[in-house]
Amino acid sequence: MKITTIRGGVAAAVLLACAPLAASAQEFTPESPECIAPANPGGGWDFTCRQVGKSLQDLGLIPSTMQVVNLSGGGGGVAFAEVVNKRNEDDDLIVAASSATATRLAQNAFPGNTMDQVRWIGSVGADYGVIAVADDSEIQTLPELMDAIKQDPTSISIGGGSAVGGWDHLKVLNTAQKAGIDDVRSVKYIAFAGGGEAVTQLLAGSLQAFTGDLSEARGFVESGDIRVIALLSPERLEGEFSGFPTAREQGIDAVGANWRGFYGPGNMSDEAYDYWVSQIDTLYDSPEWQAIMETNGLAPLDLQGEEFQQFVTDSVQNIEDLSREIGIVQ
């Protein structure tokens, strides 16, 4: 699979390449490793927790099975508040995060919470966005979908696994903006607690399109339930994803990549923080994880510790700027 590095474009689509950190000291070992996925099963956060947890165990990087807890609500806000308010010193805990997390933080959507209240551990890749329709939909291309919105915005409902104003929503608004829709706020977006729920409603006929990420859409494509009409990457991917047309090749210059990574409690010990940074770094560099990235269409994003902290800081600022531009943040 050919990977293209993105510079500029949609907020948080900037994929950086940084040298991996040296292995950190291993004075800490988790007794009961746990990963919170801030959404229901079937979405990108769930994928991140479960796939990384299994890989860490398979490679012997954690001493026991990673328990995955699904804690949905508020576009990740319920999980964020749980960590900050109730589990702020839990050294065994990591939480799946993504551009959606940065988006909610940028828009002050987690009341009373800021990104500085947690410790940003590292990234495990970036996930290109997709826009898809039910396999039996009459809509065949992205321009057809955008034209239908232009003709009657109320006739098209697009669902995603992030809250209104969240990353999935922003991807659609950016695409609409690039397609020449003057008032992107007229685009009808329906928020669900995860990508799996959105696809269920798409198949039930309640939605006309789905917006999500390639990793969460892949299984539904393989089952024949949905059809990707636009991949939000700079150019086509190779291999099993080569059949997915990009928005760009259809005349709509929309690009969006959702980074995937983890944060930990703000008061976790330095030893625990160094442990998780080191283990995620080792996982990322492994041939096993590189194969998983290729299989699931993940683009490179190798950032741990301080570099990841700075990346998230920049992402939050970029998304805040975009949100102001399209009227979500005043």
Question: Count of residues for the chain?
Answer: 330
- Greater confidence (16 vs 242) lies with 242
Q: What pLDDT shows up at residue 251? A: 98
pLDDT, tens digit, for every residue of 84-118?
Answer: 999 999 999 999 999 989 989 999 989 889 999 99
d(CA 33, CA 67): 6
Query: What tokens does 33 get?
Result: 């490793």
> CA quadruple 326, 327, 329, 330: dihedral positive or negative?
positive
| Domain 34-126+257-325, CATH number (from 3.90.1720.10, 3.40.640.10, 3.40.190.150, 3.30.470.20) | 3.40.190.150
Residue 33 pLDDT > 60: yes
> Is 3.40.50.720 the CATH number for 128-250?
no
Residue 56 pLDDT > 90: yes
pLDDT, tens digit, for every residue of 58-77?
Answer: 999 999 999 999 999 988 99
Domain residue spans of the chain: 34-126+257-325, 128-250
pLDDT, tens digit, for every residue of 123-132?
Answer: 999 989 999 9
Residue 8 pLDDT > 50: no
Q: What percent of the chain has pLDDT over 70?
A: 92
Residue 231 pLDDT > 70: yes
Q: What pLDDT shows up at residue 134? A: 97
Three-class SS state of 64: coil
Q: What pLDDT shows up at residue 26? A: 55
**Domain 128-250 in the same topology as domain 34-126+257-325:** yes
pLDDT, tens digit, for every residue of 272-315?
Answer: 999 999 999 999 999 999 999 988 888 889 999 999 999 999 98
Report residue 327's pLDDT band, with 50, 70 and 90 as the boundaries: confident
d(CA 82, CA 111): 13
